[in-house]
């Protein structure tokens, strides 16, 4: 494959992934700032916030179903076709959210319609991640798999950055304007991003590894059945390894938005700015860590990040409790920008290397999406519930972060040895 084709594949993987995650994260941030007031209307603000976070978590539980549906298509018909479908349905759902009437306008139908569109988002992202990753990894030369596999992971933070910037600009509006129509603008404009993403993906050919499976005539009739029958151990390992990558991420990026503003007295703008700066740092570090994993091995990079996560849990909360905006930014940059980067950079490539090409889309999607459902979507909910239960003490939340790191260290310890070495 020539350099022009390589560049197009990587751009297609990154652009599509960024748009999907932009749509997905937009909901998470707006849920913390807006949806608890205009869709989930209750007398107690804490209950409204918990309901908003519950709707955020709900999509995580539908993601494995999206993974199963679209990975079936991906392992049977091809990676490219699947990616076009997932991007389209994600775009339609997000655009629809921007047009929804509020609770004050249509009552109970407002949260019902919002949750329905959120579930559609969950189905889309459930199938998107595996396809975007395999588009990059299955085109990669063996000695550059870590670097290539880290590119779609950058889409996670770029999407989040785009969502945060869009909302940050909108929060400069007067409060009434922001709450009435300002929050809707990023949702509606996302339709333009989706059209661009579909155009980029249109010019991509099917991956070489899928073509080999096609040529061999070994396409499985029911990839999910084969995966669960012969590769269930790898799925469990992937679920466990995903835990430390997903739960702390949502605590440092989503939960902190409401926690720092409501409990610690920070302004909304300074909290979003801290997350934004950390996101820029991690986006830069992800390909660097992916490239490093091609030289020293995926496991070493992953374990270093996971141990760092456990060690920094308590210092993180101590720093943000000092009431200093500078310390809030430094703490968020260290946690989300520096420590999280090596974990996420190698995660996808690591997963792809433990599954056979015939069922790879299904295997990595199951591991990633079930792990995300169990630990990711529930993280802001668990953290908020811990605060309510333990009289606003951050200690249980810090212990929860350490607990996720322990689970993932146990999982990665069980991984096959070949993950730890460079695939020459």
pLDDT given at position 241: 95
pLDDT in tens, 403-423: 999 999 999 988 764 443 333
The values of phi and psi at residue 242, to 5°, are -75, -25
397 pLDDT exceeds 60? yes
pLDDT given at position 170: 86
DSSP state of 205: P
pLDDT given at position 16: 83
Count of residues making up the chain: 424
Residues 6+ apart with CB under 8 A from 78: 206, 210
Could you give the CA distance from residue 129 to residue 369 in angstroms, rounded to a whole number? 9
- More confidently predicted of 44 and 236: 236
- Helix/strand/coil (H/E/C) assignment for every residue in 9-73: HHHHHHHHHHHHHHHHHHHHHHHHHHHHHHCCCCCCHHHHHHHHHHHHHHHHHHHHHHHHHHHHH
pLDDT given at position 422: 35
- More confidently predicted of 122 and 314: 314
> Quick one: what percent of the chain has pLDDT higher than 90?
45
pLDDT given at position 43: 64
pLDDT given at position 1: 61
379 pLDDT exceeds 60? yes
Collapsed DSSP state (helix, strand, coil) of residue 352: helix
The token pair at 163 is 């969502």
pLDDT in tens, 161-217: 888 788 878 888 898 898 889 999 999 988 888 898 888 888 788 888 888 888 988
The token pair at 199 is 């155009």
pLDDT given at position 418: 42
> Quick one: what percent of the chain has pLDDT higher than 70?
97
Confidence band of 103 (pLDDT split at 50, 70, 90): confident
2 pLDDT exceeds 80? no
Question: Nearest Cα to 125, choosing from 16, 31, 209?
Answer: 16
pLDDT in tens, 32-48: 778 878 888 776 777 77
pLDDT given at position 142: 87
Confidence band of 339 (pLDDT split at 50, 70, 90): very high
Confidence band of 337 (pLDDT split at 50, 70, 90): very high
> Mean pLDDT for the chain?
88
Contact (Cβ atoms closer than 8 angstroms) between residue 79 and residue 209: no
pLDDT in tens, 239-275: 999 999 999 998 998 888 889 998 899 988 899 889 8
pLDDT given at position 403: 97
Residue 179 CB neighbours (<10 A): 15
pLDDT given at position 25: 77
Contact (Cβ atoms closer than 8 angstroms) between residue 215 and residue 345: no
Question: Nearest Cα to 351, choosing from 248, 245, 255, 268?
Answer: 245
User: For residue 372, what are the CA distances in angstroms to 39, 151, 260, 339, 384?
Assistant: 25, 20, 24, 19, 18
pLDDT in tens, 42-99: 767 777 777 777 787 788 788 889 999 999 999 988 888 898 899 899 889 999 999 9
């Amino acid at each position: 494959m020539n350099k022009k084709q390589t560049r197009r594949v990587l751009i297609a993987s990154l652009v599509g992934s960024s748009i999907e995650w932009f749509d997905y994260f937009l909901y998470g941030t707006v849920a913390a700032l807006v949806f608890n007031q205009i869709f989930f209307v209750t007398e107690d603000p804490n209950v409204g916030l918990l309901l908003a976070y519950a709707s955020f978590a709900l999509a995580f539980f539908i993601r494995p179903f999206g993974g199963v549906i679209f990975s079936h298509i991906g392992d049977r018909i091809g990676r490219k076709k699947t990616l076009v479908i997932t991007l389209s349905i994600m775009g339609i759902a997000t655009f629809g959210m921007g047009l929804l009437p509020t609770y004050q306008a249509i009552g109970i139908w407002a949260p019902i319609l919002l949750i329905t569109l959120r579930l559609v988002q969950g189905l889309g992202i459930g199938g998107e991640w595996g396809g975007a990753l395999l588009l990059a990894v299955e085109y990669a030369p063996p000695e550059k798999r870590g670097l290539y596999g880290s590119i779609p992971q950058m889409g996670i933070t770029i999407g989040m950055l785009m969502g945060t910037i869009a909302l940050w600009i909108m929060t400069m509006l007067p409060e009434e304007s922001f709450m009435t129509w300002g929050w809707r603008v990023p949702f509606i404009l996302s339709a333009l991003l989706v059209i661009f993403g579909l155009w980029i993906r249109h010019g991509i050919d099917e991956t070489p590894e899928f073509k080999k499976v096609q040529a061999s005539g070994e396409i499985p009739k029911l990839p999910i059945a084969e995966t669960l029958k012969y590769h269930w151990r790898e799925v469990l390992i992937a679920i466990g390894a995903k835990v430390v990558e997903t739960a702390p991420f949502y605590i440092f990026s989503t939960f902190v938005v409401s926690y720092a503003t409501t409990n610690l007295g920070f302004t909304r703008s300074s909290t979003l700015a801290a997350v934004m700066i950390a996101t820029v740092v991690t986006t830069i570090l992800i390909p660097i860590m992916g490239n490093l994993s091609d030289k020293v091995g995926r496991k070493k990079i992953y374990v270093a990040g996971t141990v760092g996560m456990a060690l920094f849990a308590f210092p993180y909360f101590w720093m943000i409790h000092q009431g200093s905006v500078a310390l809030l930014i430094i703490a968020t940059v260290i946690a989300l920008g520096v420590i999280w980067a090596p974990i996420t950079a190698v995660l996808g490539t690591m997963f792809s290397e433990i599954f056979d090409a015939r069922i790879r889309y299904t295997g990595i999607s199951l591991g990633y999406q079930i792990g995300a459902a169990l630990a990711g979507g529930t993280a802001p909910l668990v953290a908020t519930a811990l605060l309510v239960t333990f009289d606003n003490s951050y200690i249980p939340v810090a212990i929860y972060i350490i607990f996720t790191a322990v689970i993932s260290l146990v999982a990665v310890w069980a991984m096959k040895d070949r993950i730890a070495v460079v695939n020459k």
